[in-house]
Amino acid sequence: MSSKTPPGRLHTYKYARAAVTVDAVVFGVAPDGLKILMIKRNEFNPDIPAGEQAFPGHWALPGGFLDVGESLEHAVARELREETGMKDVYLEQLFTFGDPDRDPREHVVDVAYLALVRPNDYVLSTTDKESDAQEARWFPVDALPDKVAFDHRKIFATGFKRLKAKVRYAPIGFELLPQEFTLKELQSIYELILERKLDPRNFRKKILSSGLLQDTGAKKAGTVPRASVYRFNKDEYERQTRLGINFEI
């Protein structure tokens, strides 16, 4: 949350400049559905000028201000770590939001990033005492909290739209599952994202013919008949990507 200026990098300008923030739109799949990660901003503090406190007590996407001399990629990874405890998350740039009125404190341009994770791989926590986040929590994508800060509903909607589009040409569903899974579990991921049912026979035919799955030879206990267990063939995906082959569902 700090604004650090490296030695020798202090600049002054004749005209005012907009500030820059970064936010992370992080999706994950839980047993009860597709989730979005949000943080709760600190409650109003009477010891801090009201004009410096934006949306106290509201929920927001993890993120914060870019430090001078810091890259966007480093900033979003740092903010995600400080506000949620999540580390080593792959993030790709989503969109830039520049409405002059999106932040009541000043003109702030926001660069949003998209991430897909397995929630069970992380323990959520706020690690920075100076952070304006007091809690991190997963919410169903169709049940966001009532009080959402800034334009983060719009940013979330943009991320969800990108996710729905990308799932049709890239096997991103694998990033939301354990390393080993059944075809039914994989299909359920696609149905959650696309918000519609898929024909099991057509899905099975398409996914198996892609060459992107490796049959582990194991069977899933508790399924009748016992379902085959697969893992994602990353090498084959990278080969097809180099050849320009699109994965479509």
Sheet with 213-219: strands ordered across: 180-181, 228-232, 213-219
DSSP 148: B
The continuous run of DSSP H or E covering 206 comes out as: helix 200-209
Instruction: State how beta strands 133-140 and 33-41 pair.
Output: antiparallel
- Is 92 among the residues known to form the active site? no
Q: Where are the beta strands (DSSP E) in 120-236?
A: 133-140, 180-181, 213-219, 228-232
Q: Which long-range contacts (CB under 8 A, 24 or more apart) does 146-151 make?
A: 147/55, 147/57, 147/58, 147/59, 148/38, 148/58, 148/59, 148/60, 149/41, 149/54, 149/55, 149/58, 149/59, 149/60, 150/54, 150/55, 150/60, 150/102, 150/103, 150/110, 151/97, 151/99, 151/102, 151/110
In a 3-state reduction of DSSP, which class is residue 154?
helix
**Active-site entry in 135, 180, 191, 236:** 135
Tokens representing residue 32 in the block: 């009860």
Write out the catalytic residue numbers. Answer: 135
